[in-house]
Amino acid sequence: MSRLLITNARLVDPVAGTEQPGALLIQHGRIAALGPRLGQDGSIEAERLDAQGAVLAPGLVDLRVQLGEPGAEHKESFATGALAAVAGGVTSFACLPGTLPPIDDPSMVEFVARRARRARLAKVYPYAAITKGLKGEQLAEFGLLREAGAIGFTDGHQAVASARIMRRALSYGRLIDAFLVQHPEEPDLARNGVANPGPIAARLGLTSVPREAEVIMIERDLRLARATGGRIHFSRVTTAETLDAIRRAKAEGVRVTCDCTPHHLALNELEVEGYRTFAKVSPPLRAEADRLAVEAAVIDGTIDAIASDHRPQDQDSKRLPFASAEFGVVGLETLLPVALRLFHDGRIGLPALMSRLATTPARLLGIDAGTLAVGAPADLILFDPNRPWKVTERDLHSASKNTAFEGRLMMGRVETTLVDGRVVFRRDQTSSGSED
């Protein structure tokens, strides 16, 4: 049936800033109507889905996901990554270009788009590299990559170290209003660093990544953005000083946005005690004062979006001495419940939180998502914000299990995910998605 009526729901609309009981009608994959009394008179002929009081909200839009395909499919393929996404309520995500080979030419952009369509689950949008081969030496062909379908440009886990190259990227990007994403870490200062500087790193004998590595890179690029009029997005900001710089730049009218990750929002440097490699991330988990600053910036809107920074690693990559282990954690399936901690603490309302998770990321990427507006694609999630559950590797759908939250208790879990009005995931059922 091409019509589906979701009844008995708690409608959370981040665009309108509203939260109310009601129903929502889907027709031909798009939202046809919604409201508190919709369908109560029995006049709508449609298949019905009883939400049983669950929150009905736009599907999450994730700005930062690393897949392993091509080159490291054993860590995450398009199929496993897309399944993990819909299990976590992510209906659209942008994938980073750090594959083998990297996504730096139109044929690779088209390959990613083609492979993602075959999974028939979450919508996947490829970033292209800012520089050819992610080497930081020569700009990629922005115009051709955009025409091939690149949603934005980034060198992924590597910073564009050259101020000259970044200035050119901002200038050229301004001409096509490109979404330019920088990993804000000055490479020389960060070289070989694996932990936050301080007593814990010193006692464990771990080399550190100074907070200044982030601040210096961001202040440099803010100056370049101000000079060129280009648009810059900083991914994974972690320090109070950095956030103050971004806050001031926004007030001046600089075209800057930023995101944070769930792990930097919820965890601090204490997690690396015992050389716990599943807490080895880039940038490193910071001190508690910086974590609190990240929380405050999500609430006051300085941080525009929360991104999973999903970076799957297999056991061989993580079961190593701390200094040798790979960076990164999986995050698609814990993005929502970790963010919900701010709601449960009474620090932010659901509409505002969903805006950081869906509406604003969609706007930054320029895609039609993140809203309950009539006529919008029916990319939706149903979730119970009060459902308790425990994170276990066994229950994760990702091919890799390197979660930083193993064994943690969470509140809130996605029950059903719809993409274009099609149910692609139900917590108690097998996903309907499959390879062609």
For the chain, residues with pLDDT lower than 70 are 1, 429-436
Catalytic-labelled residue, pool 304, 309, 379, 384: 309
pLDDT at 329: 97
If DSSP codes are grouped into helix, strand and coil, which group holds residue 254?
coil
Q: What are phi and psi of 125, to 5 degrees?
A: -120, 120
The Cα-based distances of 426 to 92, 238, 240, 397, 430 in angstroms read 17, 34, 39, 13, 7
Residues with Cβ within 8 Å of 335's Cβ and at least 6 positions away in sequence, in order, are 60, 62, 88, 89, 90, 262, 306, 307, 308, 357
Measured CA angle at 91 (ends 85, 95), to 5 deg = 65
Q: Which two tokens stand for residue 428?
A: 């108690």
pLDDT at 118: 81
pLDDT at 431: 42
CB 43 within 8 A of CB 291: no
416 CA to centre of own chain:
19
Q: What are phi and psi of 127, to 5 degrees?
A: -80, 155
CB 57 within 8 A of CB 381: yes
Query: Based on C-alpha coordinates, what's the Rg of the chain?
Result: 21
Render 274-321 in DSSP notation, one character per residue: TT-GGG--SSPP--HHHHHHHHHHHHHTSS-EE---B----HHHHSS-
DSSP conformational letter for 271: G
Whether residue 13 lies in the annotated active site:
no
CB 48 within 8 A of CB 409: no
pLDDT at 135: 96
pLDDT at 413: 95
pLDDT at 119: 78
